[in-house]
Amino acid sequence: MSGEIGLWAVPIAMLGGAIRVSTPFLFVSLGEVITERSGRINLGLEGTLVFGAMAGYALAFMTGSAWIGVLAAAVAGSVFGLVHGLLCSLPKVNDIAIGIALMLLGTGLAFFFGKPFIQPVAPDLPSINLGWWSDLPQVQAALRVNVLFLIGAALALALAWMLRRTRVGLTLRVVGDSSDAARALGIRPARVRILATAFGGALAGIGGAYLSLFYPGSWNEGISSGQGLIAVALVIFARWSPVNCFFAALLFGAAGALGPALQSVGVTSGYYLFYAAPFVLTLVVLIASSSKSGALTGAPRELSITK
Amino acid sequence: MAEFLTRRRFLSTTAGMAGAAALGGLAMPARASGSLTVGFIYVGPRDDYGYNQAHAEAAAVVKAMEGVTVIEEENVAETQDVQQTMESMINFDGATLLFPTSFGYFDPHILKVAPANPDVRFEHCGGLWSEGMPTNTGSYFGYIGMGQYLNGIAAGHATKTKKIGFVAAKPIPQVLLNINSFLLGARSVDPTITCQVIFTGEWSMAVKEAEATNALADAGADVITCHVDGPKVVMETAASRDCFICGYHANQSELAPEKYLTGAEWNWATVYTDMVKKTMAGEPIDNFVRGGLAEGFIKMSPLGPAVSDAARKQFEDTNAKIMAGGYAVISGPMKDNAGNVIAKEGEAFEETDVALESMNYLVEGVIGSTS
């Protein structure tokens, strides 16, 4: 082992952190992009994420297959999405309030059903070693890439293409921008939004399964440190673009790795400050990218925050 | 996130508001003589493979005692929440012996609730009770630093890179003592060993603990231990990076049996059954209770298969010395990692020395800082 790499440890750790920590951000924010593009906000994805983490871990433990766990998390997530979508389709129901209610319900149910699964060890998702070319163990560890990360990256491209080039994408955008126009085209906005929210829930569930089945790779009640909420904010940050979501997720993953990495190279004081890096970063980027005229460019016009 | 939705909180606010007037005079439920209701409060889930589980396992032993009713609440934050939980355990469940187990519960929460409830006994884990504090409060703790010292001996024999790692939650005295003891144990094997510490700033934060463990492995540490509430994530991540691990709080050997060297575990059942027995017999409990390996407050996990014969011998010899009493880990001449003298030539702090409980330094050889 060629141990000492000095200050190079920081960029390598941030690269590794970006790859390891970003996947839940990526899946939750991609799902939320689709939901918000249809004109709804689902704030409950934090709850869906935690429930997905629990359901995925439980099923993976019981069946011995991590992929069945991922599937179960997706199904559970889509059920949460469906509930949100259906409730919000009732007249005069506020999607933000329902989202908060579902967030608490999701975490509560996950804690309740998750009790027996804190102790057992479930199988992990496989990872691909893209660091074989390097003989540095640090680089090899950083480039141990999980399959879900690659799927997420591909999904970001696919969703961007879908939104721009396909009929489904067009339908979503019409519904998101104007219910009236959608109705005139013979589209039923409520149905599209329910499906979009269910899809968003399924992706959030998969994001949760990544947490419990790969990194950190175990189910406990503190598994999500608010990734579900941050990811919803990432969508605004990414201006409702799936490809931007991918980069935003990477950035947040890397920023999260900064604190431990700096301590490991000897920058030991002020770690609370470094742990705030992702949030400072959000503020900086939002301020830098803001403008007086086009503050909400790209925002679907049916969203309750832009209406 | 969901701590304001707990059953007890809901009951204590709704039922409390509705029935406050009616209950006023008979707030304390009548108790049959010879019976005792004991309340346990945990900061996290009861089955976290760590701190809370160690307490909950002992609570289960207390539950089996004749005439004792045990009530428990988990996931109680170190905020106003714990005051309300204590109040409702006292007023609605009739608890007269409380074990609020998390470090942050003591000051100011227990110190605030205790004077208003003079008939209730508050026993806190890890706090530093001193003269002048309410006499119905007390603190108990174990000299687990000795356990980390023994961990350090196993680590010192196992490390090849001469660098060991420690994932720590917050820089409080008990955590600092554990870090220092872990390094000093390793240095008793080889004085060139260093220990890298990474603070996560939280008692339980899975992703950050995993990142910290990876950062330690990246920095070349090949034996890792921790002081966080639930060590499962650290243990699994470290083992996946091919590092040896030393357990903490409870036995984590089954998470990675080949990599697990040993571990420092709590044995709270000794303390709790004793205090419950004394309370039921009407005998007083000391306000300041401490104990170590010899008193059965802590114990070591069985040594794992990776521990060499030389390591086993030194481990067992040192263990015997600690059991005999008077063993000092911090002994002069010794400096902290900023170069200040912490123990002069001939000066030694035995495990029982209260000065250790206000430790605010990291010893020479630890890479890290307390702020």
Asked whether residue B125 falls in the same domain as residue B213, the answer is no
Residue A303 lies in a domain: no
**Chain B neighbours among A 123-152 (CB < 8 Å)?**
137-138, 141-142
Confidence class for position A291, pLDDT limits 50, 70, 90: low
Asked whether residue B112 falls in the same domain as residue B233, the answer is no
Confidence (pLDDT) at B107: 86
Final residue before a domain boundary, out of B124, B141, B158: B141
Nearest CA in chain B to A22: B207
Confidence (pLDDT) at A16: 87
Residue B229 lies in a domain: yes
Determine which of A1-15, A28-42, A128-142, B135-149 has the lowest per-residue pLDDT on average.
A1-15
Asked whether residue B136 falls in the same domain as residue B186, the answer is no
Tally the domains of chain B: 2
- Among the partner-chain residues B198, B206, B240, the one whose CB lies closest to the CB of A264 is B198
Residue A299 lies in a domain: no
CATH number of the CATH domain containing B79: 3.40.50.2300
Residue B354 lies in a domain: yes
Asked if A272's CB is within 8 angstroms of B201's CB, the reply is yes
Tally the domains of chain A: 1
Domain boundaries, position A258: 6-127+135-288
Asked if A217's CB is within 8 angstroms of B210's CB, the reply is yes
Could you write out the DSSP letters of every residue in chain A? -----GGGHHHHHHHHHHHHHHHHHHHHHHHHHHHHHTT---TTHHHHHHHHHHHHHHHHHHHS-HHHHHHHHHHHHHHHHHHHHHHHHSTT--HHHHHHHHHHHHHHHHHHHHGGGSSS-PPPPPEEETTTT---HHHHHHTEEEHHHHHHHHHHHHHHHHHHHSHHHHHHHHHHH-HHHHHHTT--HHHHHHHHHHHHHHHHHHHHHHHHHTSS-S--TT--SSHHHHHHHHHHHTTT-HHHHHHHHHHHHHHHHHHHHHHHTT--S-HHHHHTHHHHHHHHHHHHT--SS-TTTT--TTSTTT-
Rg (CA), chain A: 20
Q: Which of B102, B207, B255 is the best residue to mutate to test the A interface, defined by the most A CB atoms within 10 Å of its own CB?
A: B207
| Percent of chain A with pLDDT strictly greater than 90 | 54
CATH number of the CATH domain containing A220: 1.10.3470
Residue B270 lies in a domain: no
Give the pLDDT confidence of A247-269 residue by residue, as tens digits.
999 988 888 888 888 888 877 77
Give the pLDDT confidence of A142-171 residue by residue, as tens digits.
888 999 999 999 999 999 999 999 999 999
Asked whether residue B89 falls in the same domain as residue B50, the answer is yes
- H helices present in B118-231, as ranges: 144-158, 173-187, 206-218
Asked whether residue B182 falls in the same domain as residue B319, the answer is yes
Give the pLDDT confidence of A210-240 residue by residue, as tens digits.
999 998 888 988 888 888 988 988 898 888 9
Asked whether residue B88 falls in the same domain as residue B235, the answer is no
Confidence (pLDDT) at A133: 86
Residue B192 lies in a domain: yes
Final residue before a domain boundary, out of B141, B164, B183: B141
Confidence class for position A2, pLDDT limits 50, 70, 90: very low
Residue A116, pLDDT > 90, answer no
Asked whether residue B47 falls in the same domain as residue B133, the answer is yes
Taking CB atoms and an 8 Å cutoff, what residues of chain B touch A222?
Answer: 44, 204-206, 230
Asked whether residue B100 falls in the same domain as residue B137, the answer is yes
Asked whether residue B230 falls in the same domain as residue B90, the answer is no
Asked whether residue B304 falls in the same domain as residue B160, the answer is yes
Residue A307 lies in a domain: no
Asked whether residue B41 falls in the same domain as residue B83, the answer is yes
Confidence (pLDDT) at A3: 47
Residue B243 lies in a domain: yes
Mean pLDDT, each 10-residue run in order, chain B (371 residues): 50 47 42 78 88 93 94 92 95 94 91 93 88 91 95 97 95 94 97 95 89 91 94 93 95 93 95 94 90 93 95 96 91 91 91 88 92 73
Bridge partners (DSSP) listed for residue A144: A129
Confidence (pLDDT) at B4: 45
Confidence (pLDDT) at B9: 54
Final residue before a domain boundary, out of B121, B141, B161: B141
Confidence (pLDDT) at B42: 94
Asked whether residue B150 falls in the same domain as residue B166, the answer is yes
Taking CB atoms and an 8 Å cutoff, what residues of chain B touch A119?
Answer: 47, 49
- Write down the mean pLDDT value for chain A: 88
Residue B316 lies in a domain: yes
Domain boundaries, position B53: 35-141
Asked if A260's CB is within 8 angstroms of B200's CB, the reply is yes
Residue B279 lies in a domain: no
Residue A282 lies in a domain: yes
Confidence (pLDDT) at A293: 60
